[in-house]
Copies of this chain bind each other. A is one copy, B any other.
Amino acid sequence: MVTRHREPEAHSQVARLNELAQRLMSVSVWTGRYLDPHFAQLGLDPAGARALLHLDPDHAVPTRYLAERLCCDPSNVTAPVDRLESSGLIRRQTDPEDRRVKALTMTAKGRRVRAAMAEIIATQPPSLTTLTAEEQETLLRLLNKAWAACQAHDASRRPSATPSPRNRNRSD
């Protein structure tokens, strides 16, 4: 079969993924900037709000998992977590099973503020509320699949999952 138009499938694949990357970043950044003033009315700075958003109201979360969800270095969450702690929204508790780990748990006040954030997120940003419930489900499913690929890639880059025997010749 001879194609008359020079629009090969590979070209549209490249174009689609590029538009996808652009839209993903634009919508994400726009939504974050839109939400920041709302969160500021709750007494939260942008970094603290993002940290509280990714914490779990019901379970303790180690600092490194928070950093992983925020896609940043653990050293970058120390200051926002300090502020959240001094505001009485979260607590730092040493994990008795591994005393290196600081488990982050929400206080009752933290859960109230987190619930207020949730209400804002669920009702305010036009980028999210413009979608129907079905579209939100679909978008969430696709982003969950994408996020799973991100975490799988991170895990494959970290050989920590497989405890290595005593290796004196670390080449990297």
Chain A contact residues, CB within 8 Å of chain B: 1-4, 6-7, 11, 13-35, 50, 53-54, 56, 58-62, 65, 69-72, 95, 97, 101, 103, 117-119, 121-122, 125-131, 133, 135-140, 142-150, 152-153
Would A126 and B149 be within 8 Å (CB), given that A29-B28, A30-B71 are in contact?
yes
Cβ contact within 8 Å between A138 and B142: yes
| Min distance, Cβ A110 to any Cβ of chain B, angstroms | 15
Would A14 and B118 be within 8 Å (CB), given that A21-B53, A150-B126 are in contact?
yes
Copies of this chain, whole number: 2
Cβ contact within 8 Å between B138 and A56: no
Cβ contact within 8 Å between B26 and A31: no
| Min distance, Cβ A101 to any Cβ of chain B, angstroms | 6
Cβ contact within 8 Å between B149 and A53: no
- Of all chain B residues, which has the CB nearest A133? B13
Cβ contact within 8 Å between B71 and A26: yes
Other A-B pairs, 20, CB within 8 Å; known A6-B56, A18-B53, A18-B117: A16-B133, A17-B121, A17-B128, A21-B31, A23-B140, A23-B146, A26-B70, A26-B147, A27-B146, A27-B147, A28-B29, A29-B72, A126-B149, A126-B152, A127-B150, A128-B146, A130-B149, A131-B142, A135-B142, A139-B142
